[in-house]
Amino acid sequence: MTGREKFAKAVNHEDGQLLFDIGGLNTTGMHCMVMEELRDFYGLEKRPIKIIEPVQLLGLMEDDLREALGVETKPLWGARTQVGFMSEDKYKEYKTPWGQTVLITEEFVTDIDEKGDTLLYACGDKNYKPAQRMPKNGVYFDNEDRAGEYDEDNYDINWNLEEFEVFSDDEINWLKRQKDALDESKGYVVTSCITGHTGGGTCLGDHSMVAGPMLREPKGLRLLQDFYMATAADEELLQDIFDKETDIGIKNLERIYEAVGDTIDVFHVCGTDLGTQKSLFYSKSAVQEIWVPYYKKINNWIHENTNWKTFKHCCGSIKPIIPDLIDAGFDVLNPVQWTAENMDKNELKAEFGDKLVFWGGGVDTQHMLPEGTPEQVYEQALQCCEIFGKNGGFVFNTIHNIVPGVSAANVDALARAVRKYNESH
């Protein structure tokens, strides 16, 4: 079966072989350090890993590694990164703090401070404060708070809309150029993360975006603690922001569809985490009132105008709001963090397995994947295939990205588990 045939089985909730994804989206990827080790493990040609997402330093899944693993997804990425600079196909060599040489977009500009931290600049512009920081001995970047405290008496809503704009012709032409290559990838499932993390207008309060990492000088409601408080103390403000952001997002969806049509199979709408490992970030009523109406508007446009399936990333203990995400029109839920409180995998499958496609949940990435033996990883992954794969509705992926500390042998164990499951289906 091809990847698209497997995905059709999942979407239609029919028993069958599982689609395997690593690297299709910015929440289903692999850190460049692990990717280099995995290429060595399989004896593939030695060459620098190309960074497809510079904040988490996720590597691009090349065809030879994709074939070695059995991955059947290919990503369609936007031209602009989360830190405001263009990626396109203009790369330079960069030596990471741990000594790995990678290929990274030309506008990726850094400094090292007196503590040995690596500082990353929005839009590659060093005339402004650094937007992100990688601590010494760290392996990815975190946002810097640059806007100061929120002053509700001196506030302009446009400050929190500055990053959201209709895509330029250059950005749309970049998508068109990628479409030509992807259309030749018959059988692969094309995944797309274009508007969710790059100022396209559908991310709706994503914690990684609130600080404005793509802006040279962010202003307004930018500190996470202020944003959290606003969900309880100023819902109308957030609704106003999300309403205007959604309108921009839909304009971008129109432009994207005009450029690439149904080349896309799965569209990453939003990566906002609504849960912690113990409970919800926000009350169920806050999610229903602040987020769901705008999710519905976005999903309705996609379902009425395209054949795309809509993808929602949402970490944590979110079982109480899964019905709301279904009501909002999402087709796919990721990462299925069954290790969080009140997220038993058997209960999730029984209650929601016929209403959603679970994209993820294939292995415990916090403990088993970095700490277990290959055989233990294999057994847990195979068990997850059996539970989530029953009657369809499952795409195999880990619980979030594969990060440093995970051995190549353990990643290989995932691939072997999926192959084993598929052999009997």
Note the pLDDT tens digit of each residue in 20-45: 999 999 999 999 999 999 999 999 99
Reported as type and span, the H/E element at residue 359 is: strand 357-359
Please state which of the ranges 173-187, 241-255, 334-348 shows the lowest mean pLDDT: 173-187
Average pLDDT over residues 196-224: 91
For residues 90-113, average pLDDT = 96
Query: With bands split at pLDDT 50, 70 and 90, how would you rate the model's confidence at 387?
Result: very high
Q: State the average pLDDT for the chain.
A: 96
Strands across the sheet containing 118-120: 110-112, 118-120, 132-134, 142-143
Q: Are 82 and 208 in contact (CB under 8 A)?
A: yes
The three-class DSSP label of residue 89 is coil
pLDDT of residue 420: 98
Proportion of the chain above pLDDT 70, given as a percent = 99
Q: State residue 332's pLDDT score.
A: 98
Least confident of 8-22, 194-208, 367-381: 194-208
Structure tokens at 35: 């990717």
> What average pLDDT score do residues 393-403 get?
97
Of the pLDDT bands very low, low, confident and very high (cuts 50, 70, 90), residue 59 is very high
**What pLDDT does residue 197 have?**
65
Confidence of residue 160 (pLDDT cuts 50, 70, 90): very high
At 90-99, the pLDDT tens digits run 899 999 999 9
CA distance 195 to 203: 7
183 pLDDT band, cuts 50/70/90, is confident
The yes-or-no verdict on residue 285 having pLDDT over 90 is: yes
Banded pLDDT at 339 (limits 50, 70, 90): very high
Cβ density class 83-118: b for 16+ within 10 Å, e for less: bbbbbbeebeebebbeebebbbbebbbbeeeeeebb
Entry pTM: 0.97
- Interatomic CA distance for residues 74 and 21, integer angstroms: 9
pLDDT at 148: 85
